[in-house]
Amino acid sequence: MDLKKLTDEVDKYIKAHGGYWDPGWLLAAITEELGELSHALQTYYGVRGLNSVKRKKPKEKLIKEECGDLFFALICLANSLDINLETALLKTMKKYDAR
């Protein structure tokens, strides 16, 4: 599925379930999901200073799920602000190519 179809699918889902939150709450959701992804990555791969702590490692599946959650939240924010993520990403890629 391409990015436009994904953003349209998320838009359809959100509108069927009460609509978008305001941008501040969506940013909070992104921050929460990024924290959960960070925790899963740090627990799975270890972090300097934390390697000696005995922790149950999450499965890679959890990391994939957290990436999906973060991406969903980002799509929600972009959709709510009428930002075309495909256009934004292509512009960013051109910027990186120019460096």
Is position 9 within any domain? Answer: yes
What is the per-residue burial (b if ≥16 Cβ within 10 Å, else e) of 13-48? ebeeeeebeeeeebeebbeebeebbeebbebeeeee
In a domain, 69, yes or no: yes
Q: What three-state secondary structure class fits 53?
A: coil
What CATH number does residue 83 fall under?
Answer: 1.10.287.1080
Q: Could you give the number of structural domains in the chain? A: 1
pLDDT in tens, 24-81: 999 999 999 999 999 888 888 777 555 555 556 667 889 999 999 999 999 999 999 9
pTM comes to 0.85
How far is it, in rounded angstroms, from Cα 89 to Cα 21?
Answer: 23
Residue 54 is predicted with a pLDDT of 53
Answer yes or no: is 98 within a domain: no
Residues 18-24: what's their mean pLDDT? Answer: 97
Helix, strand, coil percentages, rounded to 5, for the chain: 75, 0, 25
- pLDDT of residue 84 exceeding 60: yes
Q: Which residue has the higher pLDDT, 5 or 59?
A: 5
